[in-house]
A and B are shown apart, each in its own frame.
Chain A
Amino acid sequence: DTGVSQDPRHKITKRGQNVTFRCDPISEHNRLYWYRQTLGQGPEFLTYFQNEAQLEKSRLLSDRFSAERPKGSFSTLEIQRTEQGDSAMYLCASRVSGNTEAFFGQGTRLTVV
Chain B
Amino acid sequence: TQLLEQSPQFLSIQEGENLTVYCNSSSVFSSLQWYRQEPGEGPVLLVTVVTGGEVKKLKRLTFQFGDARKDSSLHITAAQPGDTGLYLCSNNDMRFGAGTRLTVKP
A interface residues (Cβ-Cβ under 8 A, vs B): 4, 33, 35, 40-45, 48, 91, 93, 95, 100-107, 109
Option from B41, B45, B98 in Cβ contact (under 8 Å) with A101:
B45
Contact code string B29-60 (vs A, CB < 8 Å = 1, else 0):
00101000000111111001010000000000
The residue that A100 contacts in the complex, of B33, B44, B88, with Cβ under 8 A, is B33
Total interface residues in chain B, CB < 8 Å: 21
Do B101 and A93 touch (CB < 8 A)?
A: no
B96 at the interface (CB under 8 A from A): yes
B92 pairs with A43, CB closer than 8 A: no
A35 CA to B94 CA, complexed, in Å? 10
Are the CB atoms of A45 and B101 closer together than 8 Å? no
Give min CB distance, B51 to chain A, whole Å.
13
Contact between chains at B94 and A93 (CB < 8 Å): yes
Please give me the 10 A-B residue pairs with the lowest Cβ-Cβ distance, nearest first. Answer: A104-B42, A42-B96, A42-B99, A100-B48, A42-B98, A43-B96, A100-B31, A104-B43, A42-B88, A42-B97
> Which chain A residue shows the least CB distance to B88?
A42
Contact between A102 and B45 (Cβ–Cβ < 8 Å)? Answer: yes
Within 8 A of A (CB), among B76-90: 86, 88
* 23 pairs of residues in contact across A and B, judged by CB atoms under 8 Å: A4-B42, A33-B94, A35-B96, A41-B98, A42-B6, A42-B86, A43-B43, A43-B88, A43-B96, A45-B96, A91-B43, A93-B42, A93-B94, A95-B94, A100-B48, A100-B92, A102-B33, A102-B45, A102-B94, A104-B42, A106-B41, A106-B42, A107-B40
Known A42-B98, A104-B42; 16 more pairs at CB < 8 Å:
A4-B42, A35-B96, A41-B98, A42-B86, A45-B94, A45-B95, A45-B96, A91-B43, A101-B45, A101-B48, A102-B33, A102-B45, A103-B45, A106-B40, A106-B42, A107-B40
Q: Tell me which residues across on chain A come within 8 A of B92, comparing CB atoms.
A: 100
